[in-house]
Amino acid sequence: MDLIERIINKEAKIGVIGLGYVGLPLVIEFCRAGFHVTGFDVDGEKIAMLRDGKSYIRHIDASRLAKGSGLRADGTAELIFTPTNDFSLLADMDCILMCVPTPLNRYREPDMSYVFNTARMVAKYLRKGKLIVLESTTYPGTTDEDMRAILEESGLKAGEDFHLAFSPEREDPNNGTHSTRTIPKVVGGYTPRCLETVRTLYDQIVINTVPVSSTKVAEATKLLENIYRSVNIALINELKMLFDKMGIDVWEVIEAAKTKPFGFQAFYPGPGLGGHCIPIDPFYLTWKAREYDFATRFIELAGEINTSMPAYVVDKAILALNDAGKTVRGSHILILGLAYKANVDDDRESPSYRLMEKLEALGATASYHDPYIPMIKPTREFPQFAGRRSSEIDNGYDLMIIATPHDDFRNIDFDSLQVPVVDTRNVIKEKNKLCYSA
């Protein structure tokens, strides 16, 4: 029986490497579909929590991971999800999905160490007939050039001895409308047979798969999606700064413009970009474009504008403190929201970290309050903040900055606190003299 038949019959064993915001939802969907799934991760704490039926991602309810939940085959008591850090079990997997980080290094160049090191690990246990899928966002050519070369060090040939494919993740944490199952899944294969195999696999868990002609097209598709958002967010951020000088409320402008039923899509300003996708992914194409002696001017300009937003917010904070007769040095400032988007516990690339860094460099003490992130865990870029805990909201601060539009913040009576507030997210609808838009 070939792999496609095994997938259709739910006999193929699925291995998911990386149990974060991308990998864990995939695990759940494959288990719901009746597959035996093994989840691999180097983080022993995550593995222990999953074995105990606990979730470390807020919007993924622990009940979906607990024993007796949807992670068992329908009508049986057989456990079909195995979390582990024993990578030798890759040898038993028929389909291996790689969902590992692709950050930027300090020079804003792709850090491919996670992908390539994982590929080397997979190559150690590669056998004929397996399907290897990369889901991590990357530059065109990663899958069928760089990763293929690593996998073929095993002596096996892609497209002949094993299947190779790319299918970009499209997760949007805590999206109440779209889920892993309902978001169309783009798939690209190294060969037509590779494409048929990967499409069959994802057909088991998503409503609609979107096949494209190559892995490079699939890789470029993901980049286009996030570059589109990055450029448009940069545009609205630039207009926010201009309209502020002109005495025009950018939020009112957006609300009026989006009443047009065609030709306009609303994007919203903020204190900077956050999340793993939009601040990072565009620079993968910028880096790859240098190989072709091509300058991606739109991408780089958007990056300049978006990365300048924390400095703009700090300038607003200095103005607000000045109006109160205070200086930034020696002030105690509370940042409301550490997550990069509303109502999630995801702080990856959050602009709040930049705000804290800049304010403390100017001599302020910067605390944060976030109902979803009680304590800051170690991060690659901001290790100095690890261990800090969420502070309570009270009137003991010289200034507050609303950086994340959590629903919780919309119910706060800021008037009663009598503390100046810099609102970067239009959370406060009825603004008084102590409220500054930024």
State the catalytic residues. Answer: 277
Quickly list H helices, 290-345. Answer: 297-323
Phi and psi angles of residue 273, each rounded to the nearest 5 degrees, phi first: -95, 145
Strands of 435-437's sheet, edge to edge?
Answer: 365-369, 332-336, 399-402, 421-423, 435-437
> At CA 393, angle to CA 387 and CA 399, rounded to 5?
95
d(CA 296, CA 285): 8
CA 16 to chain centre: 17
The residues, ordered by sequence, that sit 6+ positions from 336 with a Cβ below 8 Å of its Cβ are 368, 369, 370, 393, 400, 401, 402, 403, 404, 406, 409
Number of neighbours of residue 99 by Cβ within 10 angstroms: 26
Distance of CA 70 to the CA centre of its chain: 25
185-189 and 163-166 strand pairing: antiparallel
d(CA 50, CA 93): 20
280 within 8 A of 306, measured Cβ to Cβ? no
Nearest to 425 by CA among 353, 365, 342: 342
In the chain, how many H helices and how many E strands?
Answer: 12, 13
